[in-house]
């Protein structure tokens, strides 16, 4: 079972995580993500630790072409390789959280994704969940 997702690259980072949608984003391509499964259970000792899950992000050949076109258009001077840029775009697309509290936050969830290209059209992603206390 795979779910459709949209990969977007964050072009600016003027805002904190909860308001990241106010920054400029560029649509990269469509993709599908696999069902995620838990790879690290939440720790009992740390209330902020929500555990980690793993999933795959998979592109079709046409989606890979679309991603490469976006890379050529926005990545500028090729300072990042396509693979590293794409890893980062997937991390940005799967990270986030609704928290915009400057203080007195109690328990909003935040997601931190770490992506690695494992095949030309496949990326392996670990998403760590944590709660703000
Ligand atoms: Zn909060």
Span from the CA of 106 to the centroid of ligand 1 (angstroms): 6
Span from the CA of 73 to the centroid of ligand 1 (angstroms): 35
User: Which pLDDT belongs to residue 99?
Assistant: 78
Count of structural domains within the chain: 1
Taking only the tens place, the pLDDT of each residue in 33-89 is 999 999 999 988 888 899 999 999 999 999 999 999 999 998 866 688 999 999 999
**pLDDT-derived band of residue 112, with 50, 70 and 90 as boundaries?**
very high
pTM score: 0.89
End-to-end CA gap in the chain = 34
Other C-beta atoms within 10 Å of 89: how many? Answer: 26
Span from the CA of 8 to the centroid of ligand 1 (angstroms): 24
Question: Please, which residues have CB less than 5 A from ligand 1, an ion?
Answer: 99, 101, 105, 108
Domain coverage including residue 7: 2-131
Task: Return d(Cα 123, Cα 55) in angstroms, integer.
Answer: 9
* Residues 6+ away with beta carbon under 8 Å from 105: 99, 132, 133
């Amino acid at each position: 079972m795979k779910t459709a997702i949209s990969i977007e690259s964050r072009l600016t980072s003027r805002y904190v995580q909860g308001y990241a949608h106010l920054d400029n984003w560029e649509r990269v391509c469509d993709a599908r993500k696999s069902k995620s499964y838990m790879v690290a259970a939440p720790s009992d000792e740390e209330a902020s630790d929500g555990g980690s899950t793993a999933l795959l992000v998979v592109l079709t050949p046409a989606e890979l072409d679309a991603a490469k076109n976006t890379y050529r258009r926005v990545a500028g001077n090729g300072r990042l390789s396509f693979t590293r840029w794409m890893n980062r775009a997937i991390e940005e697309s799967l990270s986030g959280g609704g928290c915009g509290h400057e203080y007195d936050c109690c328990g909003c969830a935040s997601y931190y994704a770490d992506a690695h290209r494992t095949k030309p059209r496949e990326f392996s992603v670990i998403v760590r969940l944590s709660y703000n206390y």
